[in-house]
Structure 1
Amino acid sequence: MWVQLLITALLVALLPLSLVWVSDDADKYRKLIGVTLFLTLDLIIFGAFTRLTDSGLGCPDWPGCYGQANPWQSLSAIQSAQALMPHGPVTVQKAWIEMTHRYLAMCVGVLIVAQMIISWWRRSKLKHSPWLATGLFFFVCLQGAFGAWTVTLKLQPVIVTIHLLLGMGLLALLTWAWVREGSNTLTQYAKQNLTGIATFALVLLFLQIALGGWVSTNYAALACHDYPLCNGELIPELDFSHAFSLWRQLGQTTSGEFLPFSALVAIQWVHRSFAWLVVFVILYLAYLVKKIGVASNLAKALFILIFLQLLSGASTVFFSWPLLIAVIHNAGAALLVLLLCMLNYRVRHAATP
């Protein structure tokens, strides 16, 4: 099985590697980082699709599917599990969704290994040291470990949420590496230092993504059936103690009882309330950036994306969490991470006149 999975990962990675190799881009190393960044963004979006379609346990073992490298080889085992529980987590469709997610993750892993090898092999010719590429390798290994625990610990909310955050962290590091390789001389100037607020905005965004992941992994998306009120109240009954106890099984309290509905309401209410602080800080940062002209296009993109993210978040409530809008909402969060990382790099490297 392991040999088959390795061959599958190499075959899937062969296409993006070939595209980099035959491209006319003079800087193929940066092209490789860009392709890896794009596929990591795709991986995060497809991971959201996997979670939202309840396909995370479509193959209840790891790294294969019922001990095989693909669902074709384990078809009889999958069909037997589906016959026992027709509405359970294991179906042929969910197995393919889960394994496709794993194949894409393995492809990203291969591309990051390639980056690390190239960065050390050509370290005298590249603009920067190979340590960031090496750090990315260890980071993706950690991400893979949490991907395995997500399955083996049966979608334990804290593990799934950390898996999401690590995915966003990998996206952030790849964005930083890609922007860094493309920077030459400093041609932009800043009248004031925006490093502090840019960092603050990125930290707040990651906290909000953690809260959003906590909503999704606890299936609390529809705990409030209206917006901006929550079940007709500004502050409904909230059970914070059970809502934010981290080490517990899905749908249960730490003592093994069913999670009360007021805890689900608290999870949803905190996520939507904290969102307003995140929106205010990012919009204020975008305003400052637009005002001083360090990265005006990034500021415009942030304005548009924040509006769309608010719209998609509210729409998930109004339309009772449709799959497409929920995936778009997750994609918007990933794009915000990408834009804020680019902006953080720009404001840190803007010269003072």
Structure 2
Amino acid sequence: MLIQLALTGILAALVPLAVVWTSSDRNKYRKLIWVTLFLTFDLIMFGAFTRLTDSGLGCPDWPGCYGHADPVQAHAHISAAEAAMPSGPVTVKKAWIEMIHRYLAMGVGVLIVSIALVAWRNWLRSARADGRFSPLLPSLLLALVCLQGAFGAWTVTLKLQPIIVTTHLLLGLSLLAMLAWLAARQSEHAPVAAYAHALRVPAGAALMLLGVQIALGGWVSTNYAALACLDFPLCHGTAIPEMDFANGFSLWRHLGRTASGEFLSFPALTAIHWTHRTFAFVVVALVGWLAHKAIRMAGLQNAARWLLAAIVMQLATGLATIFLKWPLVLAVAHNGGAALLLLLLVMLNYKVRMPAQMASDRSPIHLSAA
């Protein structure tokens, strides 16, 4: 089974690798990073779809499915579980969603291994003077993807324990952020205004606050608290409803239970939802202000416009999710919007920390190794 799964991961990576190696881009290392970034974003979106369709336990073991490498071989076990509990966590459809998510994750893992190998090869051979080929960040990416795999396993074996699922989400987004920084480091940039350094602190603060908000959003999703408040801007008809923060934000507990094993109360779910909703206004205000400032600075206008569009879209999908009672498409889009905001803020942070003359001095690097 393990050999079959390993071969599946390699096969999942072959198409993007072929796209990279046959492309006309002479800097194929850069191309590899951008392709991996794109697929990591897709993986995060599909991970959200997996979670929101309750497919996280579609195969209740790990890394395979009932000891097999794919749902076809495990069809008898899956069908028996579905027949015993038709609306339960194991169905044929959910098993396929879960295993496709795992296959995509393995493919991304192979691509990150490739990035690390190419980085080390070029660093050791001839590119040590060029910081863009430092193997430090690719090596950290490799370590992080291994940790992410471990949390993926614990997500299943610990039966969707909220803190494990939320950490799994945050590690996936950390991979995206690190890949975005690595991609920015490889790319050419328009010269940035010399006074753009004034945005370093607010840009860093916006990135950190977005990270907190994403963690809160993950906590909402993993605790199924998205519909705890169905009105807006009030919650249950009041600005500050009855809430149970102690149990709602007790981290080490089973899904739907308090730390003492009792069922999680509705006020606890309300506390989770209300906190995420309220903190969103802080993030929207800071990101909106940051984009407003950046849009006036040379070299930052495009990033600022994208950032404004993304924050408006994220606010709209969040509100629509409440009023339309959590349709799947909007819920997945809201997760994707958070990932897009993270990616854009990482890029903006890179630009405001980039020396003004760097972009004009850069030229493409031709790597026979890549």
Question: What is the TM-score of this pair, normalised by structure 2?
Answer: 0.93
Unaligned runs of 5+ in 1: none
* Equivalent residue, structure 2, for 1:190: 194
Partner of 1:50: 50
Match of 1:41 in 2: 41
Count of residue pairs brought into register by the alignment = 351
SS of residue paired to 2:107? helix
TM-fit CA distance, 1:231: 1.4
**SS of alignment partner, residue 271 of structure 1:** helix
Q: Could you tell me how far 1:183 is from its partner in structure 2?
A: 3.7
Q: Where in structure 2 are there 5+ consecutive unaligned residues?
A: 358-370
Q: Shift of the alpha carbon at 1:233?
A: 1.1
In the alignment, is the contact (CA less than 8 A) between 1:190 and 1:294 conserved in 2?
no
Displacement of 1:77 in angstroms is 0.4
Q: Does 1:180 align with 2:185?
A: yes
Q: Return 192-201 or 314-323, whichever deviates more.
A: 192-201
Aligned to 1:121: 121
Could you tell me which residue of structure 2 aligns to residue 306 of structure 1?
311
- CA deviation after TM superposition for structure 1 residue 187, in Å: 2.5
- Residue 346 in structure 1 maps to residue 351 in structure 2: yes
**Amino acid of the residue matched to residue 255 of structure 2?**
L
**C-alpha contact (below 8 Å) 2:122/2:133 kept by paired residues:** no
Q: Counterparts of 2:36 and 2:181 in 1: how far apart (Å)?
A: 12
- Residue aligning to 2:289: 284
**1:9 corresponds to:** 9
Distance, in Å, in 2 between the alignment partners of 1:109 and 1:173 is: 14
TM-score between the two structures when normalised by the length of structure 1: 0.97
Listed as ranges, the matches of 1:31-110 within 5 Å are 31-110=31-110
The alignment partner of 1:291 has SS state of coil
1:295 and 2:275 correspond: no
- For 2:263 and 2:291, locate their aligned partners in 1 and report how far apart those are by CA, in whole Å: 43
Instruction: Name the structure 1 match of 2:210.
Output: 205
**Other-structure match for 2:140:** 135
1:128 Cα offset (Å)? 2.6
Question: Does the aligned pair in 1 maintain the 2:191–2:298 contact within 8 Å?
Answer: no
Match of 2:337 among 325, 332, 348: 332
Q: Distance in 1 between matches of 2:233 and 2:170?
A: 26
Cα distance between partner residues in 1 of 2:70 and 2:309: 41
Give the deviation of 1:351 after TM superposition: 2.8
Work out whether residues 165 and 222 of structure 2, in 8 Å CA contact, stay in contact via their aligned partners in 1: yes
Show the counterpart of 1:148. Answer: 153
Q: 1:231-270 residue pairs with structure 2 within 5 A?
A: 231-270=236-275
SS at match of 2:194: coil
Are residues 1:20 and 2:24 paired? no
- Tell me how far apart the structure 1 counterparts of residues 231 and 32 of structure 2 sit (CA, whole Å): 45
Q: Which amino acid aligns with 1:25?
A: D
Q: Deviations over 1:53-112 (max 9, x none)?
A: 000000000000000000000000001111111110000000000000000000000000
Which residue of structure 1 aligns with residue 360 of structure 2? Answer: none
- SS of 2:296's partner is helix
